[in-house]
Amino acid sequence: MMGDRYDSVLGLDARRGPLAVILKILLYATMTVVFAGPLLGVLWGAFSKIVDPTQFTLVPEHGLTLENFRRAADRNVFGYLLNSFVVVGVGLLLQIMVSIFAAYSLARKRLRGAAIVMLLILSTMMLPEEVLAVPLSVVLADLPVVHLDLIGSYAGMILPVAAWGFSILVMTEFMKEVPIELEEAARIDGAGELRTFFSIILPMCRPALGVIGVFGFTMIWDQYLLPLIVATDSPQYTLPIALRTLRGDEEVGIGVLLAAALLALLPSVLAFLAFQRQFVRGLTSGAIKG
Amino acid sequence: MASHRLKSTLVAWGFLAPALVLFLYFKFIPMATALRMSLYEVRTYLGDEWVGLDNYRTIVSDERFTAAIWHSALLTVGVTAGSMLLGLVLALLVEGRAKYLWFVRTAAFLPVVTTLAVVAEVWRILYYPADNGPLNTVLGWVGLGPLPFLANEHSSLLSIMAVGVWKGAPYDMMIILAGLAGVDRTLYEASAVDGATTWGRFRHVTLPSLRGVFGILFILAAIRGLRVFTEVFLLTNGAPNGSTEVLMTLIYKLGLQQGELGVAAAGSVVLFLATVVLTLAVRLVRRRGAA
């Protein structure tokens, strides 16, 4: 029943009187402006002649232009964007593979020590990357045993995010639901370990891939402290950490910042809009399991 | 048969190996490194010198650290409470199946998926302290302001808090909405039959069912609050006059800009312990509450 009085606590949807409608419009408009307005301002500002913060508005009123993006190109914004794409592309691919492999083992194999491994994975989720930033910078400069220096390299920004506890847990929970009979049937047909994995398990996990994909994407795209530590010279910057170097420009003022900010916010916002259902599902399942 | 079992064990560990190696290198070794460095004066060419608990003593006695711990705590409490309260109000307002509510929910959720660096830069612009700065213009319409926001040491921390609530409240809203969806509808009807008002329904049916959700949100927000770095780094970087210096910005300055790795490592360890204690404490309280 649409608009049922018991659909929600307040039952606002069921109130249809003229005064109620006006109040609701005002309320929802305010909410939308407060939370989405500043981002809409970035969108217009990126295409406007906007020299300083006092000209930042929700509606374009200073004439549209592409000049900001031209200046942004001069100042290597597209180079930073490329760096971001490399890091998020390779990083996400690795993260998904690592998660699927680990989840396969945890969910489908009888493993002595699985409980300890689970505990270790949970404990990494209690180690926020900020806490590890300083020691991580030391470790990245000289990886133990292999003695590699990852400071200033893509690998330094990618490898630390390639294994993510959240993503492994979501995947493990999901794989536990895949019926074991399918796997046994494949084995009886003589399929090997890898073949079973790729032809039976992986296709069954498509819905969960959407969840860990969109979450992993936002997680890596949102990285700040890690690239700040790793990228020592400006050509290595990812777009988010380059933003603060673009706060002013002698030709287009803060327009160049807004153009870069738009490019930095679009990918994660678009990923969210495209995978909204998976996103909300992952958000609530992740939160409810702690 | 035995070799078959051995093989299957090897396969299982093989699939786990990439994750374990990555965690070892980028989580556990750094953690051990932090513990070790926190007990040394770290000197790049001269070799490290054992100083025992001196670095920890520095943290406890250094005014900058005690101020930063205080700011982090204030910011955490403010952002956590503000986000949960506003998140609850927002969730109640947009609960329902109508299409326009879906639109409002989606629009309100955008701050959550916007990269933190962009959020900070946008708010630096909105907070522009001139009389005709964007936010001051809006305040002027309702006869308030102008306010200095980030530029004044009395309002800077509150201004950062507001940004945290702006980004945190829609997140909490989404989780609370999921919680609301799980409330038994027949209870609403039953309480209406019993003559309960909307407020009574909310207090006696809705709030009790959301207790678990609030517990989770509290842990998540508190941990997020303690480790706050990016927004403070970009909005003020501790200025004006140290009024917004939080633990992570101070640790970053000491460790990565001034080469005080030992003290910075000790600060990281303290931050880690605070996170663990907080997580365990809240878990414990919740378990006792549930039993």
Q: To which H or E segment does residue B18 belong?
A: helix B2-23
Contact criterion met (CB < 8 Å) for A135 and B30: yes
The pLDDT value given to residue A31: 94
A264 or A128, greater pLDDT: A264
Confidence of residue A62 (pLDDT cuts 50, 70, 90): low
Alpha-carbon separation of residue A133 from A186, B40, B76, B210 (angstroms): 45, 18, 20, 35
- B83, part of any domain: yes
Q: B194 — contact with chain A (CB < 8 Å)?
A: no
Which of B76, B104, B121 to probe the A interface (max A CBs under 10 A)? B121
- A155, part of any domain: yes
CA angle in degrees (0–180, nearest 5) for A162-A142-B260: 105
The pLDDT value given to residue B33: 92
pLDDT tens track for A71-90: 999 999 999 999 999 999 99
- A32, part of any domain: yes
pLDDT tens track for A21-50: 899 899 999 999 999 999 999 999 999 888
CATH of the domain at A184: 1.10.3720.10
In chain B, the residue whose alpha carbon lies closest to the alpha carbon of A37 is: B107
For chain A, what is the total number of helices (H) and then of strands (E)? 15, 0
Residue B40 DSSP one-character state: E
Q: To which H or E segment does residue B49 belong?
A: strand B49-50
Same domain, A137 and A277: yes
Task: Say if residue A163's pLDDT is above 50.
Answer: yes
The pLDDT value given to residue B2: 64
- B10, part of any domain: no
Same domain, A89 and A196: yes
Confidence of residue A181 (pLDDT cuts 50, 70, 90): confident
**Which of B103, B113, B201 comes nearest A269 by C-beta?**
B113
Query: B178 φ, ψ to 5°?
Result: -65, -35
The pLDDT value given to residue A5: 60
- A3, part of any domain: no
Distance from CA of B154 to the nearest CA of A (A): 22
- Contacts of residue B20 in chain A, CB cutoff 8 Å? 102, 117, 120
Distance from CA of A32 to the nearest CA of B (A): 6
Residue A109 to residue A256: CA distance in whole angstroms: 53
Contact criterion met (CB < 8 Å) for B118 and A243: yes
Bridge partners for A64 per DSSP: A48
**Which of B101, B118, B223 comes nearest A128 by C-beta?**
B223
The predicted model gives A123-136 an average pLDDT of 86
Same domain, A157 and A226: yes
Same domain, A151 and A206: yes
Same domain, A27 and A150: no
**Which of A241, A268, A284 comes nearest B113 by C-beta?**
A268
Contact criterion met (CB < 8 Å) for B118 and A32: no
- B77, part of any domain: yes
**Total domains in the fold of chain A:** 2
Which residue ranges in chain B fall short of pLDDT 70? 1-2, 286-291
- Determine the 3-state secondary structure of A160 from DSSP: helix
Given a contact cutoff of 8 angstroms between Cβ atoms, the answer to whether A16 and B187 are in contact is no
- A44, part of any domain: yes
Contact criterion met (CB < 8 Å) for A280 and B174: yes
**Which of A138, A222, A283 comes nearest B261 by C-beta?**
A138
The pLDDT value given to residue A1: 37
Q: Tell me which residue range forms the domain holding A275.
A: 77-247+258-288
Contact criterion met (CB < 8 Å) for B175 and A3: no
The pLDDT value given to residue A3: 44
Measured from the Cβ of residue A189, the count of other Cβ atoms closer than 10 Å reads: 9
pLDDT tens track for A110-121: 788 888 999 999
Same domain, A113 and A42: no
- A132, part of any domain: yes
- Contacts of residue A256 in chain B, CB cutoff 8 Å? none
Distance from CA of B33 to the nearest CA of A (A): 6
- B250, part of any domain: yes
Alpha-carbon separation of residue B79 from A146, B25, B223 (angstroms): 42, 33, 11
Q: ipTM > 0.85?
A: yes
Q: A136 — contact with chain B (CB < 8 Å)?
A: yes
The set of residues, in sequence order, having a beta carbon less than 8 Å from that of B176 and lying 6+ positions away, is: B87, B88, B91, B210, B213, B217
The pLDDT value given to residue A286: 56
CATH of the domain at B211: 1.10.3720.10
Same domain, A83 and A129: yes
Measured from the Cβ of residue A215, the count of other Cβ atoms closer than 10 Å reads: 23
The set of residues, in sequence order, having a beta carbon less than 8 Å from that of B62 and lying 6+ positions away, is: none
- Within 27-46 of A, beta carbons closer than 8 Å to B belong to 27-28, 31-32, 34-36, 38-39, 41-42
Same domain, A58 and A85: no
Task: Say if residue A161's pLDDT is above 50.
Answer: yes
**Total domains in the fold of chain B:** 1
pLDDT tens track for A216-240: 999 999 999 999 999 988 899 999 9
**Which of A131, A144, A279 comes nearest B227 by C-beta?**
A131
Count A/B contacts: CB-CB distance under 8 Å: 290
Same domain, A81 and A198: yes
- B22, part of any domain: no
- B20, part of any domain: no
- A5, part of any domain: no
- Contacts of residue A288 in chain B, CB cutoff 8 Å? 178, 212-213, 216
- B51, part of any domain: no
- A1, part of any domain: no
The pLDDT value given to residue A262: 96
Same domain, A278 and A151: yes
Q: Tell me which residue range forms the domain holding B222.
A: 62-259
Same domain, A171 and A273: yes
Report the largest interatomic distance among the alpha carbons of chain B, rounded to a whole angstrom: 83
Same domain, A193 and A272: yes
